[in-house]
Amino acid sequence: MGLLAVVLFLPGLVSDGEVESVSYDTFLGRVAASEVATVAIDNQTGQIDFETVDGAEFGTTGPLELSDNDRRVLSDSGVAVTYDTPQPGFLQTWLPLLLPVGLIILFFWWINRRAQGQMTGMMAVGRSKAKLYTTERPSTTFEDVAGYAEVKKEIREVVDFLTEPEKFAEIGARVPKGVLLVGPPGTGKTLIARAVAGEAGVPFLSVTGSDFMEMFVGVGASRVRDLFQSARKMGRAIIFIDELDSIGRKRGAGLGGGHDEREQTLNQMLSEMDGFEDTEGIVMLAATNRPDILDPALLRPGRFDRQVVVPLPELEDRLQILEVHTKGKQVGDNVDLGVVARGSPGMSGADLANLVNEAALTAVRSGEDSIQANHFEEARDRTIMGLKRESMAMTDAEKEMTAYHEAGHALCAAVLPNADPVHKVTIIPRGMSLGVTMMLPEEERYSDNQDHLEDRLAVKMGGRVAEDLVFGVLSNGAGHDLVTATELARKMVREWGMSDAVGPMAWGSHNQVFLGDEMLAAREYSDETARVIDKEVQRILCDQEDRCRKLLTDHRNALDLIARALLEHETISGDEVGRLIGAAASGADPAQGNGSSGETAVTAEPEPAEDPTPVD
């Protein structure tokens, strides 16, 4: 439309030159006086251009049709008169006709493009959704992964194969085609996979297991084919599949039979992996925290034939992880990251990152300009034991019963030889508990013997027995203690062979319902054996309850002192518990000495490795 306006109106707006305009009567007067030499008349617009005898040019506008008198004046004066009828140009002639036709054609072309775009979107459903990370992007290296020296050493072979494949070819060695990273959530499996790609300097295709599944049939298998085709075009590349268990579960399992679409996707992946050539330079990495439910065909040699375990970080690893996450943060001089690492056993890398962040948030809430040691202590308590419920109003009777309940736990943990030392006892409601007794192991422990397990059961019974011993009643406050104690005793009998009546026999724990193995397979033991197992579990729990009752009865004075200190200060440390027990044994006045203090922090913490054991 703009082009049409320019073509039609611009020629009329642009003049050929500067010509003085006069009136039509002046023009006729000059013609009659014989002052005009030539006249040019435009038949379409009535424009009249004339030139005088002395060479001056003028212009005027007359009627489209000259009258007879005007024609007689022009003819009598002998002026050379020319009549001009301008012819329209090509654009002026055809553009008004072609423009509507062009608009109609443009409209249909636009409709056709939209239809093709929709069809392309439908056909693109089968394309892989993998994200490509090339060497041009900022990459992650092993230096960015704190700790896990053994894991990085194990997986460095993959990097060496991708960077120097000829070294392996000379000897005839074959690098595993698939490496499966196995470990609990939050241990950094995905970060390690990205570090492999960054060290190798090759394209890195990242995709999650859920990206293969769609509402359309056959989409998963199509995306697997497209993923491997894209990797082959790159030469040497790494394919990383996160959460492999979402598509790699055992085939033919489940209450309603296997999911056919998921199984077809798994079948396509198995065939693609088995068809690799040694010279293709494609390595598959996958991560999962459920290796027990993967299909056996996925783990056989030639596919994922190497499993790299990424465990929870140990003490040195935790220290390195904390150093990484505290970079760029204002940390006070009184913060010893070694103490924080020893006081956070069982935490993954993600838990440690959250611990540092919680400490920073606590510092901000306190109005401090740096993170202090007490902020880390509060953040750990909040992470392990839960958030304080200071607004919760407890009656004096409930508070006293809670104090004796926690005092029973703390006393048993402090007196029993194989129990973990007490770190802190509080009757401030945290999380879902009215009180918490927190224990930390003294050293890295990778296995538990029967004596240690029995002491743990006795500690769990301490709260229930203390309530019964002091008040003569039982409450539901020991509900969680009984659940965990029963579960532990059942594992001792069924899985670990710690019962003389059952003997050296073990049966695994119940499988998940969605796998269907437990419901479809016959039970591994008879009803008579089930009765023996139940009797043994009951016997173990009753024996430890009687043992706990005798212990609390013998140390009744210490139990009263610990409960009285909790009622007065609400939170006491493990050292204070030990001092009160010693004072009760010697008959000394517990008010003398160091004295108890609320929120007392241990100056020299033990070096634990297991999960901190909060007991409700």
Active site residues: 406
Question: Quick check: 51 and 36 in contact, CB under 8 A?
Answer: yes
Count of residues making up the chain? 616
- 12-to-43, 138, 200, 453, 494 alpha-carbon distances in Å: 15, 62, 71, 104, 103
Rounded to the nearest 5°, which phi and psi values hold at 83?
-110, 125
* Cβ pair 456, 548 in contact under 8 A: no
**Contact between residue 458 and residue 412 where contact means Cβ atoms under 8 Å apart:** yes
CA–CA gap between residue 181 and residue 155 (Å, rounded): 10
Sign of CA dihedral 361, 366, 371, 373: negative
Give Cα separations from 485 to 133, 159, 462 (angstroms).
49, 47, 11
Strand order in the sheet with 422-426: 571-573, 422-426, 436-439, 613-615
Q: How far is the C-alpha of 415 from the C-alpha of 422, rounded, in Å?
A: 10
Token pair in block for residue 37: 């030499």
- Which token pair is 577? 């518990």
Query: Can you tell me the distance from the alpha carbon of 178 to that of 301, in angstroms, rounded to the nearest whole number?
Result: 9
In the DSSP assignment, the letter for residue 52 is E
- For strand 47-52 and strand 36-42, is the pairing parallel, antiparallel, or unpaired? antiparallel
**Rounded Cα gap, residues 435 and 596, in angstroms:** 18
Q: Is residue 616 within 8 Å of residue 481, measured between CB atoms?
A: yes
Measured in Å, how far apart are the chain's first and last C-alpha atoms? 80
Whole-number Å distance between alpha carbons of 375 and 356: 9
Tokens of 91: 């654009």
- Residue 218 CA to residue 416 CA, distance in Å, equals 61
Q: Are the beta carbons of 286 and 304 closer than 8 angstroms? A: yes
423 DSSP 8-state letter: E
3-class DSSP state of 256 = coil
Cα(524)–Cα(518) distance, rounded to whole angstroms? 10
Two tokens, residue 518: 């437990």
Q: What contacts 247, CB < 8 A, 6 or more positions away?
A: 209, 212, 213, 220, 262, 265, 266, 269
Contacts 24+ apart (CB under 8 A), 393-398: 394/429, 394/434, 398/434
What percent helix, strand, coil does the chain show, rounded to 5? Answer: 50, 10, 35
